[in-house]
Each structure stands twice: as C-alpha cells, then as structure tokens.
C-alpha cells in the first residue's frame, strides 16, 4: 500500500511533466465543444435531435474522445513501454510488486477521464446551456461501465502486445473504431441506422450516455453489454498479462 | 555456511538448453565472479538465483531460503542489477532512488549513494538525458539502495569508461568491506582479477572451472615467460637443465625462457651462480584472459 502510494505520486508527477499531452487529453473534448458552440446554428433547438440543440446531442460523443485516447491509446502504450524497457521487471526485484505500477496507471487514467468529463459537462452547462445529466444515476452507471469496458480493452491490448510497437499497431485501429462508432468523426444521425445501432454496443456505449444525459434511463441491454465486455476483456487481460 | 547454493541447475527455453548443469556455492562476504562467453547462460543462472526465472531442474537456496517460495523475504535482502533494464524517460535520478529506497525497511540514504556513485550533479536530471555510463551507475545505485545482504550485479561496468570502471570497482570493494556478499557477472577479465575472490567460468550452460583468479591461471595457463639480456654468453643447456624450464629461445641479444612454477627464482639463481647479470629482466605471466581462452576457446570481449 505504502509502495503503491509512492509509485502513484511519482507516476502522477511524470504525467504533469508532460503538460502538452496532459492538456490535450483532458481539454480536447471541451475545446471541440467550444468551437462548435460558437456556431449559432448549432445552439438552436432542432427537431432532428428531438428538439435539443446539436451541441447537446453531440456532447456524449465528445466524452468518447478522452475515453478512447486514454483507455485504448495511452494506457496500453505506457504499460507496453514499461514492460519492453524492463521497468516492470526491475520493480519485480524489489519488495514492491509491479502490479502496484499497473494499478497506479489505472488510477491516473481514471483521474484523467474523470477530469475531462467534469470539465466538459461544466462548460457545456455554463457556456451553452446544456443541462446537467437529467438521469444522474443512469448517467453515472453508463459512464462507469463504458469507462470500465474501454480500460479493460486497453489492458487487453497491453497484455497481448509484446512490444510498445505492437501495442500501437493494435491500439490505433481500435481507437479509430471506438471514435467512429462513438459518433466523433461523423455525428451519429448522419450514419446509416445499422451503423449507429452497432455504436450503441461499442464501448463506451454512447447511446446509453445520451439517453441518461437527456433524461431517459439507459437501456439495461446497453449497460449489460458494457459490463460483459469489461469483465471479459478484463479477465482476458489478467490471464494474458506478462510482467516481462 | 554458504549464502547461495546452486545445485545441478537446469533451465531451458523451449528446445534451447540455456543452463545445462550448473552448481556452485557462494560464501558470505565474498565477491563471486561469473564469467563466460555470450549466451553461456550467466544471466539465466543469476536470474534463477534472484527468483526472476523458474528453474526446470536442480535447486537454488539463498540465505537458506527458496527464491520463489520466500520471494517476499528475499526481495528485502537481495539487491539485483539486471543486465537490461531501463527507467521511465522523465524520471529524475534522485526521484528514482528515493522511490526505490521507500520500498525497503532499512534503506541506504539516497543522497549519500548518489554522491558515492558520482551522480551528485545529475540528481535532478531526467533518465532520458543521462549518458550510458550514468544510467549504468544509477542502475548500480538502485541495486544497493535497499542495503542488501547480497547484491547480484549482471554486467556491472559494461558501458562505463575506464575511469568510471575503476571508481565502480572501488565502490564495490567498499560495499564488500561493509559485509555484503556480491555475485558479479562480467566480461572483463581485469575486473574479475581485481575484484573477485573466486570465479566460475560457465560455457554452454556448464561450469568449466571454479577457482580463485590466481588459482585458475596457475592451473589452466601455468606458462610463464622470462626475457633478459645476459651480461655474458649463456649456454642454453644451463637453463634447459632446470626442471622449471620448458623452452629457451633467442631473439637477437635477448634470451626468452618459458616454463612453469618458480621459474623466476630458478633462472635467476642459476645465472647468479655463474656470475651472469640479467639486464632488462621481465617476467610475463599468464592472465585470466589466457585462462579464459584455454577454457572456452573464446577471446573475452573487450
Ligand atoms: N527469455 C528467453 N527466451 C528464450 N531464450 C532465451 C531467453 N533468455 C535467454 N535465452 C537464451 O538462453 C541462452 C543463455 O542466455 P543468457 O542470457 O543466460 O546468456 P549470458 O551468458 O547472460 O549471455 P551474455 O553474456 O550475452 O549476457 C542464450 O542462447 C539466449 O539466447
Ligand atoms: Mg547476460
């Protein structure tokens, strides 16, 4: 526990030392929100979005940006790099277990995701009148399960990839898939219906987030699938993960 | 009572036998060298001792404990420097040592260790910006920061310049003098001769010799050579009659005598008896290099 705390403190410091990356990771969704929000037409209620503004409709997709960057990109690449360079192995020679370093990375990934989401929700509310999630419990649940599913996928990538290069090779397509089905590249109302439906079940499950944000409870099936992905990918990662 | 006992260690990776049959014992307080050509199985052997790899056969006992079963205890008491292991790019020297120190019950003082290893002006430098030798020194410091009873150092001075290498030897002697047992994997014969009380030479997964460096030289490569310029003509037979002498050659005015045992004493006595003065006398003894070549058929890497 003591070792974990010290490792967490040092790893947090290492992230703070790379400020540009940190700011991009936490702030990019909010930056996109602000740019879109400056277009007056996107702030007008529109029947296409059940009478909401485009900004409200698109906000959940912006949540996906940080989730994807942190979960399937940064987490596996940091872990694979640490393994490739023998950082985990060296830790294994000390009384601290390398699992403490993995746990610290997970905590920091979560902190980044949470900070980014809070910033987005706050700015959306204060600057563009997007209401706070109307179904807070459902939103929290959808967010937790979606995050868990993505982090578990990230861990699975880190477990399967033997080198940092291999991790990148797996992470990039996964990242693109998550972003695409999350409606980040093309807003989902522009996607063919069946593609949008696939997106409902692609982590982090943007439809459940949208539902809970705008007021209806998320559908149990949407949440259930995220839970299944999180458990399956997490179990696979735990089974396959190698410290060296 | 040995602190490390390796008996009939066997380790394979798939079909490849990395360690075939290795046995040795390390006594408390000694510096024990492990020598051998590339791929001989040195790293595999010491990593089995460190509990990082699981042997396929044979036994390893460290401080009377089992490196796998009693791993938690041994990690407090054994410091390891791995042959290939880096740190995060942005981690600074002092941070790394303070972090690692915090894992141990009775750590050394990181600041003192930093100074001892000549990293004083680099304490706030990021790992990425250190030179190869500085990284190596940090790695040694990390192996020692827990005040271990045993330090296992794989390729201690690879990558260091000659001065840094000598400084590191001095440090290792200090560490040994404080009572730490040291297992040292090295490719440098000079290092082994200077530091090690005993060395094991491993070749193709087997121990081919185990002795003190001097003992190994005298049994494996006992040949000595004496060169001198006699003040008066010397009859070859005078020298070849000596039991210690195996050959006598002449190059110009110089006489070269090859032999074994107390060669120098035998030759100088016989010359003195005949009132011949040996000018420019030089004794060339075999070194551990020669012994290594004899044992493994490889030139040591230098
Ligand atoms: N993890 C591994 N998987 C497969 N083969 C390995 C592994 N580690 C080592 N080997 C092989 O086992 C043999 C012994 O390797 P080892 O690293 O123990 O040699 P070494 O004596 O330390 O060599 P060097 O002087 O080059 O460091 C080599 O043929 C090496 O290729
Ligand atoms: Mg080696």
Q: Tell me how far the alpha carbon of residue B145 lies from the centroid of ligand 2, in angstroms.
A: 22
| Residue of A95, A96, A98 to mutate for B, most B C-beta atoms under 10 A | A95
Statement: residue B298 has pLDDT above 80: no
Mean pLDDT of chain B: 91
User: Does position B223 have pLDDT exceeding 90, yes or no?
Assistant: no
Touching B: A residues 74-103, CB under 8 Å: 82, 85-87, 89-90, 92-96
Cross-chain residue pair A95–B72, CB shorter than 8 Å: yes
Closest CA to B199 of B80, B24, B52, B8: B24
Residue B39 near ligand 1, beta carbon < 6 Å? yes
Say which range, A151-160, A182-191, B44-53, has the weakest mean pLDDT: A182-191
Architecture of domain B223-285: 2-Layer Sandwich (3.30)
- Cα of B300 from ligand 2 centre, angstroms: 14
Domain ranges of chain B: 2-218, 223-285
pLDDT range class, residue B160, cuts 50, 70, 90: confident
Chains A, B: CB contacts under 8 A, how many? 55
Ligand 1 contact via B205 beta carbon (within 6 Å):
no
Task: Name the minimum distance, in Å, from the CA of A99 to any CA of chain B.
Answer: 14
- Over residues A65-76, the pLDDT tens digits come to 999 999 999 999
Band of residue A18 on the pLDDT scale cut at 50, 70, 90? very high
First-to-last alpha carbon distance for chain A, in angstroms, is 23
Mean pLDDT of A226-239: 95
Residue B153, sorted as left (phi over 0), alpha (psi -120 to 50) or beta, turns out to be beta
CA of B108 to the centre of ligand 2 (A): 27
Residue B286 burial (CB count, 10 A): 19
Confidence of residue B301 (pLDDT cuts 50, 70, 90): low
Strand B224-230: give its sheet, edge to edge: B245-251, B254-259, B224-230, B278-285
φ and ψ of B21, to 5 deg: -155, 95
In this predicted structure, the answer to whether residue A149 has a pLDDT above a threshold of 90 is: yes
Domain that holds residue A104: 2-240
CB-nearest partner of A10 from B50, B52, B99: B99
From atom 7 of ligand 1, which residue's Cα is the shortest distance away?
B13
pTM: 0.87
Inter-chain CB proximity A6 and B102 less than 8 Å: yes
pLDDT of B222 over the 80 cut: no
Closest atom of ligand 1 to B205 CA is 14
Which of B47, B68, B99 best tests the A interface by mutation, with the highest count of A CBs <10 A?
B99
Q: Annotate A1-26 with DSSP letters as a single string.
A: -HHHHHHHHHHHHHHHHSHHHHHHHH
Query: Residue A92: its pLDDT value, please?
Result: 93
Is the pLDDT reported for residue B302 higher than 60?
no
Rounded Cα gap, residues B9 and B205, in angstroms: 9
Tokens representing A109? Answer: 């990934």
Q: B91, A95: Cβ pair inside 8 Å?
A: no
Measured in whole angstroms, the distance separating CA A207 from the mean position of its chain's CA atoms is 15
Mean pLDDT of chain A: 93
Q: What is the tens place of the pLDDT at every residue in B87-123?
A: 999 999 999 999 999 999 999 999 999 998 889 999 9
Contact between B44 and B19 under an 8 Å Cβ cutoff? The reply is yes
pLDDT category at A168 given cuts 50, 70, 90 is very high
Q: What pLDDT score does B300 carry?
A: 67
- pLDDT for B260: 86
**pLDDT at residue B295, as a whole number:** 82
Report the nearest-CA residue for atom 2 of ligand 1.
Answer: B13
CATH code for residues B2-218: 3.40.50.300
pLDDT of residue A90: 94
pLDDT of residue B290: 81
> ipTM score here?
0.89
Contact A6 B99 (CB under 8 A): yes
Q: Which residues of B touch A99 (CB under 8 A)?
A: none
Statement: residue B299 has pLDDT above 80: no
Is A158's pLDDT higher than 80?
yes
Q: Is B18 in the pocket of ligand 1 (CB under 6 A)?
A: yes
d(CA A202, CA A192): 15
Contact status, residue B133 vs residue B164, Cβ threshold 8 Å: yes
Nearest CA owner, ligand 1 atom 31: B39
- A76, containing H or E segment: helix A75-84
Most confident stretch, A44-58, A102-116, B216-230? A102-116
How far apart CA B95 and CA A13 sit, in angstroms, is: 10
Instruction: Using the mean position of ligand 1's atoms as its centre, give its distance from the Cα of residue B42 in Å.
Output: 8
Mean pLDDT value of segment B220-240: 88
B254-268 average pLDDT score = 90
Residue B285: pLDDT band (50, 70, 90) is: confident
Verify whether the Cβ–Cβ distance B88 to A7 is below 8 Å.
Answer: no
Q: What is the pLDDT averaged over residues A139-160?
A: 95
pLDDT at position B221, please? 77
Angstrom distance (rounded) from CA B106 to CA B148? 9
Considering A150-154, B128-132, B134-138, B251-255, the range whose residues carry the highest mean pLDDT is: A150-154
| pLDDT at position A111 | 96
**pLDDT at res. B138:** 93
Query: Side by side, which strands form the sheet with B78-81?
Result: B57-62, B2-13, B16-27, B206-211, B198-203, B31-35, B181-185, B150-154, B78-81
- Whether residue A90 and residue B88 make contact (CB cut-off 8 A), yes or no, is no
Pocket test for ligand 1, best of B41, B154, B292 (most atoms within 8 A of CB): B41
């Amino acid at each position: 526990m003591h070792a974990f705390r010290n490792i967490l403190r040092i790893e947090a410091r290492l992230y703070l030392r790379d400020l540009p990356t940190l700011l991009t990771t936490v702030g990019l969704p909010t930056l996109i929100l602000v740019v879109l929000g400056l277009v007056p037409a996107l702030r007008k209620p529109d029947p296409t979005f059940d009478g909401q503004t485009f900004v409200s409709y698109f906000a959940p997709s912006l949540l996906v940006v940080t989730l994807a960057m942190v979960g399937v990109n940064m987490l596996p690449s940091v872990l694979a790099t640490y393994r490739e360079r023998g950082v985990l192995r060296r830790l294994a020679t000390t009384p601290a277990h390398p699992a403490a370093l993995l746990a610290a990375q997970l905590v920091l990934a979560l902190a980044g995701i949470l900070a980014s989401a809070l910033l987005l929700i706050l700015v959306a509310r204060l600057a563009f009148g997007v209401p706070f999630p109307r179904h807070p419990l459902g939103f929290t649940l959808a967010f937790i399960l979606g995050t868990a599913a993505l982090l578990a996928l990230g861990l699975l990538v880190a477990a399967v990839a033997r080198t940092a290069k291999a991790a990148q090779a797996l992470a990039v397509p996964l990242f693109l898939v998550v972003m695409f089905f999350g409606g980040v590249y093309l807003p989902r109302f522009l996607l063919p219906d069946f593609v949008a439906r696939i997106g409902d079940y692609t982590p982090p499950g943007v439809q459940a987030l949208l539902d809970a944000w705008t007021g209806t409870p998320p559908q149990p099936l949407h949440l259930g699938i995220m839970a299944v992905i999180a458990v399956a990918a997490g179990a696979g990662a735990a089974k396959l993960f190698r410290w060296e | 009572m040995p602190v490390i006992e390796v008996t009939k260690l066997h380790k394979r990776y798939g079909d490849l036998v990395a360690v075939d049959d290795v046995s040795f014992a390390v006594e408390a307080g000694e510096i024990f060298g492990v020598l051998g050509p590339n791929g001989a199985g040195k790293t595999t052997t010491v990593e089995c001792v460190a509990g990082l790899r699981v042997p396929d056969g044979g036994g390893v006992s460290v401080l009377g404990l089992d490196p796998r079963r009693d791993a938690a205890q041994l990690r407090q008491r054994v410091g390891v420097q791995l042959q290939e292991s880096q740190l995060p790019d942005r981690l600074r020297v002092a941070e790394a040592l303070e972090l690692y120190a915090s894992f141990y019950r009775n750590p050394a003082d990181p600041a003192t260790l930093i100074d001892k290893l000549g990293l004083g002006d680099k304490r706030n430098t990021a790992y990425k910006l250190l030179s190869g030798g500085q990284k190596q020194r940090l790695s040694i410091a990390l192996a020692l920061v827990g005040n271990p009873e045993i330090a296992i150092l794989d390729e201690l001075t690879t990558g260091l310049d000659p001065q840094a290498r000598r400084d590191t030897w001095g440090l290792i002697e200090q560490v040994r003098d404080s009572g730490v047992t040291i297992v040292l994997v090295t490719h440098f014969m000079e290092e082994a001769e200077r530091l090690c009380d005993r060395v094991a030479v491993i070749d193709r997964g087997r121990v081919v010799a185990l002795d003190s460096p001097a003992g190994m030289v005298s049994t494996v490569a006992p040949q000595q050579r004496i060169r001198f310029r006699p003040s008066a003509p010397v009859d070859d037979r005078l020298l070849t009659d000596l039991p210690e002498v195996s050959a006598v050659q002449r190059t110009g005015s110089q006489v070269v005598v090859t032999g074994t045992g107390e060669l120098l004493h035998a030759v100088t006595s016989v010359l003195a008896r005949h009132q011949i003065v040996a000018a420019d006398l030089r004794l060339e003894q075999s070194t551990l290099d020669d012994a290594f070549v004899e044992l493994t058929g490889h030139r040591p890497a230098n």
